[in-house]
Amino acid sequence: MSTTTADEHHDDHHPSGIMRWITTTNHKDIGTLYLWFSFIMFFIGGFMALIIRTELFEPGMQFVDPQFFNSMTTMHAIVMIFGVVMPAFTGLANWLIPLMIGATDMALPRMNNWSFWILPFAFAMMLSTLFMDGGGPAGGWTLYPPLVLQTGDAFPFVIFAIHFMGMSSIMGAINVVATILNMRAPGMTLMKMPLFVWTWLITAYLLIAVMPVLAGGVTMLLTDKFFETSFFNAAGGGDPVLFQHIFWFFGHPEVYILILPSFGVISSIIPTFARKPLFGYSSMVYATASIAFLSFIVWAHHMFTVGMPLAGELFFMLATMLIAVPTGVKVFNWVCTMWRGAMTFETPMLFAIAFIILFTIGGFSGLMLAITPADFQYHDTYFVVAHFHYVLVPGSIFAIIAAVYYWLPKWTGHMYSEFWGKTHFWLSTIFVNITFFPMHFVGLAGMPRRIPDYALQFSDYNQIATIGAFGFGFAQIIFLGLVIATIRGGVKATDRVWEGAEGLEWTLSSPPPYHSFTTPPNVKGEWNWFTHQHYETVKTRS
């Protein structure tokens, strides 16, 4: 035993090497793991998209057989939803929520470790099904019976992989809820929380409410296949349409699980670069809660063509259109935040502005799809593909990219290259439109989705979309290079990083210490974005 005094210089000491990442319970480490996992899956899912687009470059069958094509559409969706967007937002939540609410870490750090490490195993299992007899799942991510029950050896592995993904999501959501409810700094009331924290609290609530529905649904598929139950088997007295109700009761809130944290990210970025406080903070919170509530009562708009009573069709049509109101409040508030602001256009702001414009286009096509008689024409066409890709790519993915650019200097302590950031932005924005905008036209002209071949009349727009997809894919390699370069070095970032940035995370050093706040910051008074009187932060480390 050596005897020293505690006044000696003291660094953050924590495990290093591979064991650091396997055994870590630190929110920043786990956030980093989630983000890298998501990034890797983004390239895997993107590669699948390029296979789809390559096959669709010309009419006729060129490169893959129809079964594999349908496996690609199914896997691409599952990977992008459960492997990219959800883990990316969980990674952002891990990194940012403790920093934003003034906590040292997440409330349940060991469970946090588990919820991440389940994911690589779940996706290894899911991707391995592509190499099994009968190929991977090819019935679409919606897993409708009886089609999905025709899956070969892969079927039980797909179900178990989905269970694992669900477990990971639920554990992540419980951790977020426990952290936000119990670990806010003194003085940080619910209505003083940053919008990103609010949107994640509501997202976690949605996750907890709907994930068991998916778990129950896929388990019933499993028992129908292997234990001779007849939940969805008409011959045994079951009803396959009931599965669609189950799936979309989960699936529609899932759509909001994928987009609500984006709203939080954009609500953080816009005020920073407009150098104005967020317009209508309270209305943003209530709008988010309203969207979450409405998400529970609109699921059957995915099933207009399945057949339901006229009153049901009317109810679901009107309830769906109602979602435009709180969403419109959000877009209005973001635009009002920018109105007469001292705006600058750094890369995160460019992605945020593109998000607002392009997500709104996706929202408008959603309104078109909400109109029941119109949906009878649009259903299962490329118009639907265009709609949800506008919501998810320039929506969720752009928000995630914007978040990375915005907080990367805080995470790494280095500024990224603005030149390469803007190059990435312009290439992504141009190519994302080249990819998905023509899909509106082929969809309206009647091109069905999930079909590897198509009529000659759709060739031109499909070729444009394929060129756009490859361009968008290559643009993301710039992003990968930029992230790696920023981690490795660069101009030192200041603690506050952005002139207009407000929030507790900016009061910490860049990069922040291993444990975030060793003394609780005291959040007093109302938001004051200019005088910094808002926070009376006791900083013990830098």
The residue (of 311 and 456) whose beta carbon lies closer to other proteins is 311
The answer to whether the beta carbons of residues 125 and 153 sit under 8 Å apart is no
Q: In angstroms, what is the minimal distance from the CB of 28 to other proteins?
A: 13
Q: In angstroms, what is the minimal distance from the CB of 493 to other proteins?
A: 22
Binding site for other proteins (CB under 8 A): 1-7, 10, 12-15, 19-20, 23-25, 102-105, 107-108, 111, 170-171, 174-175, 177-178, 181-186, 188, 205, 208-213, 215-217, 219-220, 223, 231, 238, 242, 246, 249, 513-515, 517-520, 538, 540-541
Q: In angstroms, what is the minimal distance from the CB of 526 to other proteins?
A: 18
The residue (of 118 and 265) whose beta carbon lies closer to other proteins is 118
Q: Is 535 left (phi over 0), alpha (psi -120 to 50) or beta?
A: beta
The answer to whether the beta carbons of residues 406 and 348 sit under 8 Å apart is yes
The whole-angstrom separation of Cα 216 and Cα 241 is 15
The whole-angstrom separation of Cα 51 and Cα 458 is 18
389 is catalytic: no
From the candidates 275, 449, 450, 541, give the one annotated as an active-site residue.
Answer: 449
From the candidates 245, 330, 414, 440, give the one annotated as an active-site residue.
Answer: 330
From the candidates 141, 198, 411, 506, give the one annotated as an active-site residue.
Answer: 141
168 is catalytic: yes
502 is catalytic: no
Q: In angstroms, what is the minimal distance from the CB of 442 to other proteins?
A: 37
254 is catalytic: yes
The residue (of 178 and 336) whose beta carbon lies closer to other proteins is 178
Q: In angstroms, what is the minimal distance from the CB of 71 to other proteins?
A: 27
Task: Tell me the chain's radius of gyration from C-alpha atoms.
Answer: 24
Q: In angstroms, what is the minimal distance from the CB of 395 to other proteins?
A: 26
Q: In angstroms, what is the minimal distance from the CB of 17 to other proteins?
A: 10
The residue (of 13 and 340) whose beta carbon lies closer to other proteins is 13
The answer to whether the beta carbons of residues 101 and 190 sit under 8 Å apart is no
The residue (of 181 and 318) whose beta carbon lies closer to other proteins is 181
From the candidates 245, 302, 410, 534, give the one annotated as an active-site residue.
Answer: 302
Pairing outcome for strands 522-523 and 535-536: antiparallel
Residue 302, phi then psi, degrees to nearest 5: -80, -5
Cβ atoms within 10 Å of 484's Cβ, excluding its own:
9
Cβ atoms within 10 Å of 336's Cβ, excluding its own:
16
Q: In angstroms, what is the minimal distance from the CB of 416 to other proteins?
A: 29
In 3-state terms the chain splits into helix, strand, coil percentages (rounded to 5) of 70, 0, 30
The size of the chain, in residues, is: 542
Among 78, 471, 39, CA closest to 70: 78
The residue (of 183 and 401) whose beta carbon lies closer to other proteins is 183
169 is catalytic: yes
Q: CB-based burial of residue 530 (10 Å sphere; 0-12 exposed, 13-18 middle, 19+ buried)?
A: exposed
105 is catalytic: yes
From the candidates 327, 347, 417, 510, give the one annotated as an active-site residue.
Answer: 327
537 is catalytic: no
* Contacts for 9 with CB less than 8 Å, ≥ 6 apart: none
From the candidates 29, 224, 254, 313, give the one annotated as an active-site residue.
Answer: 254
387 is catalytic: no
Quote the Cα angle for 220-307-367, to 5°: 100
141 is catalytic: yes
302 is catalytic: yes
From the candidates 262, 267, 347, 360, give the one annotated as an active-site residue.
Answer: 267
From the candidates 34, 95, 200, 256, give the one annotated as an active-site residue.
Answer: 256
The answer to whether the beta carbons of residues 23 and 113 sit under 8 Å apart is yes
Longest dimension (CA), the chain: 83
The residue (of 293 and 376) whose beta carbon lies closer to other proteins is 293
The whole-angstrom separation of Cα 8 and Cα 367 is 64
How many CA atoms lie less than 13 Å away from 3 in the CB half-sphere? 0
Q: Which two tokens stand for residue 402?
A: 């914007």
The residue (of 231 and 472) whose beta carbon lies closer to other proteins is 231
The answer to whether the beta carbons of residues 81 and 141 sit under 8 Å apart is yes
The answer to whether the beta carbons of residues 425 and 345 sit under 8 Å apart is no
406 is catalytic: no
Task: Indicate the SS3 state at residue 454.
Answer: coil
301 is catalytic: yes
The residue (of 518 and 533) whose beta carbon lies closer to other proteins is 518
Residue 523, phi then psi, degrees to nearest 5: -95, 115
From the candidates 252, 389, 414, 534, give the one annotated as an active-site residue.
Answer: 252
The catalytic site residues sit at 76, 105, 141, 168-169, 252, 254, 256, 267, 301-302, 327, 330, 449
